[in-house]
Structure 1
Amino acid sequence: MASSSSCTLLLPPLALSRISHKFSPPHPHLFLPYLPHRRLHTLHLARGQNPRGGGGDSADPPDRLISAACYLYPFLDGVHFGRFLLSQFPPLQLIILPLTPAIRLFRSSPLNPFLIFLTLYFAVVRNPSSFSRYVRFNTMQAIVLDVLLIFPDLVERSFAPRDGVGLDIVMSIDSTVFLFLLVSLMYGSAACLLGQVPRLPIVAEAADKQSRLELESRLLKIVGLQLGK
């Protein structure tokens, strides 16, 4: 990122005075002084800044609540991985007990997981005009985490052992997946409620990549609109 001092060295004094008079304050990037003022606001939003104040990682209370609730989606979709662990350690059921109504509602129809996925992705992640980058990043993390559940599901359905070493392996995989989902739910929701940015292993990198692709697409669209004038 270029600094304002480096931009000062590249522009002549007369040009700087005209730019500073017309655009208040001038943007540190070289191409931004040639964009209209309304484009500057649009570009700030494209760079992930919260229009209601703060940087891209700041969040208002409604954004925190929405982001925290998103982490329920992968947990509800993968709660069945905990059947072995919950049967061996009944005290763990006390943690799941408050979520029983949500689990029953989620499992009431086989279409619910798919419909929730479409809603979160297209109505939240792909809707920067209605949701801040903070909400969209956390929602994308929850979606990626849910997509990763395909792999343990395939392992379980492909082998489906009923006893022996194979069953022990499946039980270990399922219990590990369930614990990871439970920790992700607790950590992600708690961090969001505190206004922090939770970063889950592997998942955060994929969410960052999606955010970068979206940012680059919006930047190219803005610059293209400006060059077309």
Structure 2
Amino acid sequence: MVVVQTKAGGGGTSLVPVSDRVVAFLPYLLPLISGLRYSRYFFAAFPAAIIMLQPLLPIVKIVATLPLGNLIPFFAAYLGVARNQNLSRFCRFNGMQAILLDIVLIFPGLLESLFSREILGITIPYFLSKWMYNVIWVGLVVAFALCAVGCATGRYVNLPVVSEAAEAQMR
């Protein structure tokens, strides 16, 4: 078994097996797939960047054809990883952080719905909507990349606010 030595939260050292690093990474696909709706303006401006999503296409197609969409993978990540006491703390923390990152993505959609003609009678100007979508997408991709590298190296990645909430759920 291949392991990576890392600094644990308390300053000690711990070993993270490769299998745990893979399990810890998989839930991060959930917010990435959920956040695809915010990528349209980014990929319109940078069409060559779509190549980075090619490996995810089969997963995206499966999730899109599921009757409950992201709900099944969400509960699979929550119950199968984040709340599974048989897994290491590293897996559970990363699973919870990924789930909370996915939940954070609900808020821009709520804001967008609030500022619709049907509810407030106000629409978000196109340039502001485009800017907001790009900020959300790029922020999500950066968070995903940081967490993916953290999982691959067996290190905890602390995302502002999200990590604190994940830590609180671990208690």
TM-score when scaled to structure 2?
0.82
Structure showing greater radius of gyration is 1
Is the CA contact 2:27–2:95 (under 8 Å) kept in the aligned structure 1? yes
- Which of 1 and 2 has higher RCO (CA within 8 Å, sep 6+)? 2
1:1-229 to structure 2, matched below 5 A, reads 58-128=15-85, 130-160=86-116, 166-212=125-171
Runs (4 or more) in structure 1 with deviation over 3 Å come to 55-58
**Number of equivalent positions:** 156
Is the CA contact 1:79–1:178 (under 8 Å) kept in the aligned structure 2? yes
Is the CA contact 2:22–2:151 (under 8 Å) kept in the aligned structure 1? yes
Give CA deviations for 1:82-136 in whole Å, capped at 9, x if unaligned. 01111111122122222222221221225131112212212322221x2110000
Give CA deviations for 1:118-155 in whole Å, capped at 9, x if unaligned. 12212322221x21100000000000000011111112
| Cα drift, residue 57 of structure 1 | 5.7
TM-score when scaled to structure 1?
0.63
Root mean square deviation of aligned Cα: 2.1
- Distance across 1 between alignment mates of 2:38 and 2:102: 13
Query: Which of the pair is proportionally richer in strand?
Result: 2
Is the CA contact 1:69–1:189 (under 8 Å) kept in the aligned structure 2? no
Query: Gapped runs of 5+ residues in structure 1?
Result: 1-48, 50-54, 213-229
Specify the alignment match of 2:4 in structure 1: none
Is the CA contact 1:56–1:133 (under 8 Å) kept in the aligned structure 2? no
Query: Gapped runs of 5+ residues in structure 2?
Result: 1-7, 118-122
| Cα drift, residue 157 of structure 1 | 2.4
